[in-house]
Amino acid sequence: MVRNVVILGGGTAGWMTATYLQAAFGDRVSITLVESRRVATIGVGEATFSTIRHFFDYLGLAEEEWMPSCNASYKLAIRFENWRGPGHVFYHPFERPRLVDGYPLTEWWLKLGRDPFDRECLVLPALCENLRAPKHFDGDLFERSLHDGGDTKRRSTMAQQETQFPYAYHFDAALLAEFLAEFGTQRGIRRVLDDVREVTQDERGWISHLVTAEHGEIAGDLFVDCTGFRGMLINDLLGEPFESYQDFLPNNRAVALRVPADMERDGIKPYTTATAQDSGWIWTIPLFHRIGTGYVYADDYCSPEEAERTLREFVGSAAEEAEANHIRMRIGRNRNSWVRNCVAIGLSSGFVEPLESTGIFFIQHGVEQLVRHFPDENWDPTRITAYNTAVARCLDGVRDFLTLHYRGTARADTPYWKATKERVLPDTLAERLDLWSAQLPDPGTVYPYYHGFEPYSYHLMLLGLGGQAPRRHRPALDLVPDGAARQELRRVRAQSEELVNALPSQHDYLARLH
């Protein structure tokens, strides 16, 4: 049996992988994590998907156990600013539009709507606008009909998410790694702080052990590469080809700042903000104690110096003392993320860009799939192929969804935004865009493999971005009585007002949690 797992690299990817494997297999598998004191983490993964709650559930961690240690806050949505044009705003929340006579409210809105689609069809934008927490002070979730037991101790995986859980988290990624390191070592994970000098392979080319500077040889059966964009094992050692997404997605660099803020005075916004700029976009992520922000851009249109200057001007005086972290991003994926006895998870496997907060989602997906396809002494190649197929399809699906953000926006006022309309489209997206310009997507017309996004997300982006959205509703709706749809639109507005009045502010709720 495969009993000995060695993880190279710490940070969020390494410690999420280690603690999840330990939760899955207990002491039946020995886990050693080797990380260097000298290698800094990328540290921009501060916003997440709603599926992240399955990770904490799986580890048996309640929010009050980990959130205060990681300065975490709630995330109900992404707020897109200036993507269609200056001053335009829309939300992409964790909320499926309700169905009326078999059609989602977004379809009915094309026929009946007058106000912005997100405010008319969904309740979460109102909570975002009013800085509300998604829970009452007693811990009860605001809308029981939208969740499937995420606050219980029942272990679950992303594959079991049958309803749309209405929130995710923002957290300090470095603090989460530290928290998980302590959590994991208390449960038997061996942590080795050392530098790897050499990696030894056997006669088949399989990895046999790591050679460290102070701890000597560390042998393993399965090795997990969590070394970030470098891909020290999967790429440098094993030579697995990397397939770039740069033909489809424009951005390849980022500059990030950690900005002090008075959250008690200003309140904590329960959403990530993505603000379009001349050569990319700026993220704003509110934690309990500070703001995380960064400019994601294409260096064909903007230099690192110009990007940092733009970001500091955007933040204002609060950024004066903040140190800038410049990051060169590797956009794409490995042809295979599992090669021989090495599995790459996190940035060493693949990455798109921070838009839609998929970095930590990819870590979680990779380790869940590893547990599902965990090998025995036979190393069945069909199991390895199935793993590689699932990971590749997930990354390719997110690539297509993010490509839609750039091709689908009506904005074309700078060379960068003009060029987004001219970039090549993935074959899996091109023919779908033609269909979606006539009618909104449905389960049969979106990317068919699991990638974390449902048809409603495509609805919201098409309607919000404005460049590829249908100009009118489905003709079938003219043959269906619209009374129930009108009533449901009124109900959304009434419930939004009721929830705003009933729920505490995010700051007040988190202050009590802390």
| 273 annotated ligand-binding residue | no
Q: Out of 75, 153, 269, 418, which one is annotated catalytic?
A: 75
Q: What tokens were used for 414?
A: 């700078």
| 296 annotated ligand-binding residue | no
Q: What tokens were used for 61?
A: 């961690």
| 7 annotated ligand-binding residue | no
Report the chain's terminal Cα–Cα distance, integer Å. Answer: 44
| 177 annotated ligand-binding residue | no
Q: What tokens were used for 477?
A: 């709706």
DSSP-assigned states of every residue in 366-427: HHHHHHHT---TT--HHHHHHHHHHHHHHHHHHHHHHHHHHHSB----SHHHHHHTTSPPPH
| 13 annotated ligand-binding residue | yes
Q: Residue 281: beta bridge partners? A: 276, 296
- Parallel, antiparallel, or unpaired for β 332-334 and 350-351? antiparallel
Name which of 129, 82, 425 is nearest 270 in CA terms: 129
Name which of 258, 145, 142, 153 is nearest 506 in CA terms: 142
Name which of 230, 238, 232 is nearest 340 in CA terms: 238
| 10 annotated ligand-binding residue | yes
Integer-rounded Cα Rg, in Å, for the chain is 23
Distance CA 73, CA 78 (A): 14
| 356 annotated ligand-binding residue | yes
- The SS3 of residue 263 is helix
Distance CA 125, CA 144 (A): 18
| 64 annotated ligand-binding residue | no
| 492 annotated ligand-binding residue | no
Cα separations (Å) of 229 from 249, 332, 487?
17, 10, 51
Distance CA 246, CA 248 (A): 5
- The SS3 of residue 440 is coil
Cα separations (Å) of 213 from 30, 197, 227?
22, 6, 17
Name which of 218, 359, 271, 256 is nearest 90 in CA terms: 271
- Parallel, antiparallel, or unpaired for β 103-104 and 77-81? unpaired
- Parallel, antiparallel, or unpaired for β 222-225 and 280-286? unpaired
Active site residue 135: no
Distance CA 232, CA 235 (A): 6
Distance CA 191, CA 32 (A): 6
- The residue assigned the tokens 């609805």 is 459
Side-chain half-sphere of 132: how many Cα atoms within 13 Å? 24
Which residue positions form the known binding site for FAD? 10-13, 196, 347, 360
Which residue positions form the known binding site? 10-13, 75, 196, 347, 356, 360
* Residues annotated as catalytic (active site), given as ranges: 75
Which residue positions form the known binding site for 7-chloro-L-tryptophan? 75
Which residue positions form the known binding site for L-tryptophan? 356
